[in-house]
Amino acid sequence: MPIVNARIDASAALADPALVNVYGCTVGPDTRIGPFVEIQRGASVGARCRIGANAFLCEGVSLADEVTVGPGVMFTNDRHPRAVTAAGTLMGPEDWTLETTRVGPGAVIGANATILCGLTIGAGARIAPGSVVTRDVPPGAHVRGVPARGAASPSHPLTSSSLLDQAEAS
């Protein structure tokens, strides 16, 4: 897997450069990137972030500083994905509109969450593992589920065990 035309701070660490696909993006200082991660052109990752194995950050995704992206997290950037145009021809770059996604400082996105395009995830927000985020997440909010909705308060953080407790109680 290549590292091509990427601006990666010298203090950033890649689990194994042969096992990542990083191109045309920016990666900030002291950031850690796990194996089998793809970060596409135009994406940016701030300082002191952690990107888990198999995460996908597409064009238009911007992570502020100190963001945690769990393993298998998937970002999208196309609201209406299609293979062909109405005329039946294969779509090209000119046939779609890039939708950007912003993730605020200190946000945590749990493993295997999917973040739909065109959203803002606020500073310090927490997204539980496996959630599908379909709307903006306010700063400090804790969300979970499909689609993701409010789930907890700072005094009751989202952890795997707290989610199991909530599920068993319902």
Write the pLDDT tens digit of every residue in 32-43: 999 999 999 999
Write the pLDDT tens digit of every residue in 83-120: 898 899 998 888 888 999 999 999 999 999 999 999 99
Q: Which CATH number characterizes residue 86's domain?
A: 2.160.10.10
What is d(CA 75, CA 55) in angstroms, rounded to the nearest whole number? 8
What is d(CA 47, CA 25) in angstroms, rounded to the nearest whole number? 14
| Predicted local distance difference test score (pLDDT) of residue 152 | 54
> Would you say residue 170 has pLDDT above 80?
no
The dihedral sign for the CA sequence 158, 107, 31, 54: positive
Q: Considering 10, 80, 167, 168, which one is annotated as catalytic?
A: 80
115 CB burial (10 A radius; 0-12, 13-18, 19+) = buried
- Domain with 36 in it: 1-169
Q: How many CB atoms lie within 10 A of CB 61?
A: 24
156 labelled catalytic: no
Structurally, the chain folds into a number of domains equal to: 1
